[in-house]
Structure 1
Amino acid sequence: MTTAILGQVLTYRAQPFEEDPVSAAHVEPRGAVIVEDGVIVATGPADSLLPHYPQATVQDMGRHLILPGFIDAHVHYPQTRMIASWGKRLIDWLNSYTFPEEMRFSDPAYARAVADSYLALTRAHGTTTVCSYCTIHPESVDAFFAAARDSGQRMLAGKTCMDRNAPEELRDTPQSAYDDSKALLTRWHGVDRLSYVITPRFSPTSTPDQLAALGALWAEHPDCLMQTHLSEQTEEISWVKSLFPEARDYLDTYEEHGLLGANGLYGHAIHLEPREKDRLKEVGAALVHCPTSNTFIGSGLFDMAGLMTAGQRVGLATDTGGGSSFSMLRTMAAAYEIGQLRGTPLHAAQLLWLATAGSAASLGLDDKIGRIAPGMEADLIALDLSSTMAIAQRSACADDIWEAVFPTIMMGDDRAVAEVWIAGRATA
């Protein structure tokens, strides 16, 4: 079956942090995306393309903006029901809200119910790919991946491993972390659109023996991603120094145990030392910016401009439920606000790139998702640039497409997501 999706189609000619954002991006005013069997086969002006596909089913989205589905590079799906919990810094927040909720995920039925609701929320907000932490329970991973197979979304996830500084009910051991992770990896990695991610929560909740066991597993499966947290808050960094007195810095606690590499995803990365920046760049690791979480939990201001100028790979994420929204639009707005506070505001073209191609690259999936181009998987969304009265009255005054798009980034929510296609299939 061939489908032609019409609208204002966003593509990128270049990376918008390396070139002028306006010249790096292109919006075809009356564009078409041609999809066959879940894959994009052509894109360009509608009037030029449609005659070549006379049998195509046409979905005309009018003036809506057609772009890749959003890619959320760092979330905790088990925290879905405790999102927007009041008033704690990171360590107290974990103990007060996160750990009690995560204990419930030993129940497969509970885990599946949360997974289903989480994936429905992401689809409603235009997110088609997510990289998630689960809990220590293998049941939480099985539930998430089973739900993702049913939804068709491309998903990445892994069992969170912790063997200290957590409630007894949420601790595993170095050996069980290795064994459970390996069994889950064998069961799920590469099945349909699923990828397993090796997942030590962060150094404070793993002993050196557990970190080493997970480093050994990663060495055995280097094609897998490894995700963890790095330098989120200053109190956390002090805690790490007390737990690892011989380490050169926070990153060294991972590096010394085989957990630093090109397929590494390091969430937050706000308070980095010069050596850490150099090593992350040298190995080609990815950093993940979680702006709503960073402001909600009071962590600090991520240096997007400085890190991108230095050539770091950076993705964007909601960090559900430390982040206060499931929406990547709200996440882009928060990234803009943090940029303003640092004196380096981001252009709309840069923000949309971070939420699509940038996050895809951080996950090593930029050959499959995150761009509208022939050969890419057809995970797409249509954004209504006049979804509310407030947005419509501003976009009506816009002098160009970027002035029309920016109000939706700053004020948009799930009402702006007019349609979602997962592997070419409309979900509405």
Structure 2
Amino acid sequence: MANAFRGNLLFFTADPKDAGEQAWQYIEDGLLVVDDSGLIRQVGSYASLVDQLDSSTVITDHRGKLLMPGFVDCHIHYPQTEMIAAYGTQLLDWLQTHTFPVESQFSDYDYGVKIAERFCTELLRNGTTTALVFGTVHPESVDAFFTVAQQRQLRMIAGKVMMDRNAPDSVLDSAASSYSESKALIEKWHGVDRLSYAVTPRFAPTSTPEQLAQAGRLLEEYPDVYLHTHLSENRDELAWVQSLFPESSHYLDVYDQAGLLGPRSVFAHGIHLCDDECQRMARTDSVIAHCPSSNLFLGSGLFNLSKMDDYGIRVGIGSDVGGGSSFSAFDSLADAYKIQQLQNVNLDPFRALYLATLGGAKALSLDHQIGSFQAGMEADFIVLDPQATDFLAFRTEHCRNLKELLFVLNTLGDDRVIAATYILGQLAHSTATVEGDN
């Protein structure tokens, strides 16, 4: 039995910076038809499709609301859920003061499950249906997260942190154990249901060259897993990397020498990249996860999106919770706009939403499965309510076109705008009862 969802449909087929207005489709009073396996069967106008539906098809009515593919978060830390909005320091002090003490608790599997449940609930409340997720150094943290994600049928990517120096003993492993534990987790979880594994050295300062080499070894042995780490977030961090790896020409070169660059390698932040680093990122088709809220909250710097575009580097959006102060993609997009404004660049609302949906899927090499409304793709989608609050209803009444509406949502939206989140066509979160008819 199929299910169908009626409302205004918006989805992207290309990057607006390349395809302009041809990059998206907007179908007013559209219909999204989903088969019983959770895949999209048809997309079109309600008038053109309704007479083709089987009599058993259930139509869920979201008229007056906007249906979009779910948001894709390209960089986030689930163990930091409980320390979001930790006060007062920049990156390196923040790690020592707040992050490492919290992460030390995740050797307890049951504790990990508890936090993973809260984390996944928050993602769905905020319309995020796929994420690239940091665990902790403890294998139990990854087992806990994947167990919860699997139960909820989520498409998620995660990995155990590799970290063998410059941190408290409670969050350290070794080069050898990080390899063996990561390998066991890959064998257990990668490719199971909708789950994928990411080899996850935290960042260069907390890994010895020997450990980074073991990360490269894992990528050679399992070429379809991901690489997920941090790069060039904070200027003090850059100086530290240079002192620890004096033989490297720059920060990215540390990872390059270990064989960690490639089309499934996602580097969070990338704020202070030199031209040579950008060229190397582009040549290897490596990816940057832009984390605007975190960059502002930790005072890290302003990301140069135009420069990345000029080099042809794929970019996705990350919330970077708990460095980022919100699970909401809307908060990330509002901050992304402000960061570009400070550099005399206007981030178009269509481009912003592309980066948070299909752009994020492309960044994670998942655009054949998620991120758009195409027949055969997985039906992870959200329902946005432009009248979610009295003030938002007042403001959107004054929008003259779709672009203005989207910019208002990008700027003023939060979790209340997410009226519903669907995973494989099944309701996973709702703020209100919706109507169904046959």
TM-score for both structures, normalised by structure 1: 0.98
Q: In structure 1, the residue corresponding to 2:105 is in which secondary structure?
A: helix
DSSP 3-state at the match of 2:17: coil
For the 8 Å contact 1:17–1:309, the answer to whether it is kept is no
Listed one character per residue, the Cα deviations across residues 119-147 of structure 1 (whole Å, up to 9, x for unaligned) are 00101111111110100100000000000
Q: 1-side partners of 2:150 and 2:173: how far apart?
A: 27
Aligned equivalent of 1:126: 127
Q: Which residue of 2 aligns with 1:6?
A: 6
Give the aligned partner of residue 235 of structure 1. Answer: 236
Q: Could you say which residue in structure 2 is the equivalent of 1:179?
A: 180
Please tell me whether the aligned partners of residues 290 and 323 of structure 1 are also in contact (alpha carbons under 8 angstroms): yes
Q: Which residue of 1 aligns with 2:68?
A: 67
How far apart, CA to CA, are the structure 1 residues paired with 2:150 and 2:426?
14
Partner of 1:90: 91
Which whole-Å deviations, capped at 9, do the CAs of 1:172-210 have from their partners, x for residues lacking one? 110000000000000000001000100000000000000
Q: What is aligned with 2:342?
A: 341
- Mean CA deviation greater in 399-408 or 201-210: 399-408
Q: CA contact under 8 A between 1:89 and 1:298: conserved in structure 2?
A: yes
Q: CA deviation at 1:390?
A: 2.0
Distance in structure 2 (CA, Å) of the matches to 1:319 and 1:14: 25
* 1:232-260 deviation line (CA, Å, top 9, x unaligned): 01110000000000101000101111111
User: CA separation in 1, counterparts of 2:209 and 2:27?
Assistant: 53
Q: Which residue of 1 aligns with 2:49?
A: 49
1:113 CA drift (Å): 0.3
1:380, CA displacement in angstroms?
0.5
Task: Provide the secondary structure at the position in 2 that maps to 1:305.
Answer: helix
Could you tell me which amino acid in structure 2 is paired with residue 291 of structure 1?
Answer: P
Q: Bigger shift: 173-182 or 393-402? A: 393-402
1:415 alignment partner in structure 2? 416
Summarize the alignment of residues 356-395 of structure 1 with structure 2, pairs less than 5 Å apart: 356-395=357-396
Q: Which amino acid aligns with 2:318?
A: A
Matched, 1:26 2:30: no
Q: Secondary structure at the match of 1:19?
A: helix
Equivalent residue number for residue 217 of structure 1? 218
AA at the equivalent of 1:5:
F
Q: Residue 274 of structure 1 corresponds to which residue in structure 2?
A: 275
Is the 2:13–2:358 Cα contact (8 Å) retained in structure 1? no
Give distance in 1, aligned partners of 2:306 and 2:373. 25
* Native 8 Å contact 1:292 1:318 kept in 2: yes
CA drift of 1:13 comes to 4.2
Q: Residues 124 and 421 of structure 2 are in contact (CA less than 8 Å); yes or no, is this contact kept in structure 1?
A: yes
Q: Give the counterpart letter for 2:98 in structure 1.
A: Y
Please show how residues 196-207 of structure 1 align to structure 2 within 5 Å: 196-207=197-208
Q: Is the 8 A contact 1:270 1:302 kept in 2?
A: yes
CA contact (8 A) 1:42 1:374 kept: yes
What SS does the aligned partner of 1:300 have? coil
Shift of 1:23: 4.0
Q: Deviations over 1:313-333 (max 9, x none)?
A: 000010010000011111111
Tell me the alpha carbon deviations over residues 261-315 of structure 1, each in whole angstroms, 9 at most, x when there is no partner: 1211000000001110000000101111000000000001111122123211000
- How many equivalent pairs are there? 427
CA contact (8 A) 1:293 1:318 kept: yes
Q: Residue 15 of structure 2 corresponds to which residue in structure 1? A: 15
CA RMSD for the aligned pairs? 0.9
Structure 2 unpaired stretches of 5+ = 431-438
Cα distance in 2 for partners of 1:236, 1:306 equals 21
Please name the residue that 1:143 is paired with. Answer: 144
Equivalent position of 2:106 in the other structure: 105
Q: Aligned partners of 2:327 and 2:14: how far apart in 1?
A: 28
User: What is the match of residue 35 of structure 1?
Assistant: 34
Identity of aligned residues (%): 44
Separation of aligned partners in 1, 2:402 and 2:256? 45
Contact kept? 2:73, 2:130, Cα under 8 Å: yes
Quick one: distance in 1 between partners of 2:347 and 2:8?
22
Please tell me whether the aligned partners of residues 350 and 406 of structure 2 are also in contact (alpha carbons under 8 angstroms).
Answer: no
SS of 2:373's equivalent?
coil
User: Using the alignment, how far apart are the partners of 1:126 and 1:12 within structure 2?
Assistant: 17
Any idea what the Cα deviations from partners look like across 1:199-229, whole Å, max 9, x if unmatched?
Answer: 0000000000000011111111111110110
Distance 1:24 1:362 in 2: 17
Runs of 4+ residues deviating >4 angstroms: none
| CA distance in 1: counterparts of 2:211 and 2:379, whole angstroms | 39
Please say if residues 84 and 321 of structure 1, whose CA atoms lie closer than 8 Å, have aligned partners that are also in contact. Answer: yes
Q: Residue by residue, what CA displacement relative to the aligned partner does 1:25-68 show, whole Å, maximum 9, x if unpaired?
A: 22111111110020001101110011111332101101111000
Q: What is the deviation of 1:344?
A: 1.1
Partner Cα separation in structure 2 for residue 403 and residue 273 of structure 1? 35
CA distance in structure 2 between the aligned counterparts of 1:172 and 1:195, rounded to whole angstroms: 22
